[in-house]
């Protein structure tokens, strides 16, 4: 099946940030539209504070990585932190569980 060609969109403006939270705050403050990760905006969309205007252009996948030297001798505290963080992120719907093809 052939994919539909996506139109190119140009945007511009004088407001630039390097943080998702700053983008959310700016959009909530009425400064315009923002390209944000879907998981970070679910609550705002459900409450009516945000409205999707270009749903096909959302950031639907966000990678979260834990970087450490060697898993063989990982301290229990680090393992507990990783498990705690992943559980909280999954519960808050900030990430989706990975599915592996076998």
> CA dihedral in degrees (61, 56, 41, 66; nearest 10)?
10
The total number of structural domains that make up the chain: 2
How much is the pTM?
0.54
Give the domain extent around 98: 63-102
Identify whether residues 51 and 82 lie together within a single domain: no
For residue 102, what pLDDT is reported? Answer: 47
Distance of CA 81 to the CA centre of its chain: 20
Identify whether residues 76 and 95 lie together within a single domain: yes
For residue 59, what pLDDT is reported? Answer: 63
Task: Note the pLDDT tens digit of each residue in 35-54.
Answer: 888 778 888 999 999 998 88
Residues of the chain with pLDDT under 70: 1-4, 6, 58-62, 99-102
Whose tokens are 């970087």? That residue is 67
| Distance in angstroms (rounded) separating the CA atoms of residues 90 and 22 | 22
């Amino acid at each position: 099946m052939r994919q539909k060609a996506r139109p190119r969109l140009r945007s511009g403006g004088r407001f630039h940030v390097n943080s998702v939270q700053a983008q959310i705050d700016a959009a909530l403050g009425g400064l315009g539209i923002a390209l944000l990760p879907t998981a970070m905006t679910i609550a705002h969309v459900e409450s009516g504070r945000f409205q999707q205007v270009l749903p096909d252009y959302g950031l639907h996948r966000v990678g979260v990585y834990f970087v450490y030297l060697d898993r063989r001798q990982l301290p229990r505290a680090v393992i507990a932190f990783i498990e705690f963080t992943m559980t909280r992120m999954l519960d808050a719907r900030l990430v989706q569980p990975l599915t592996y093809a076998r």
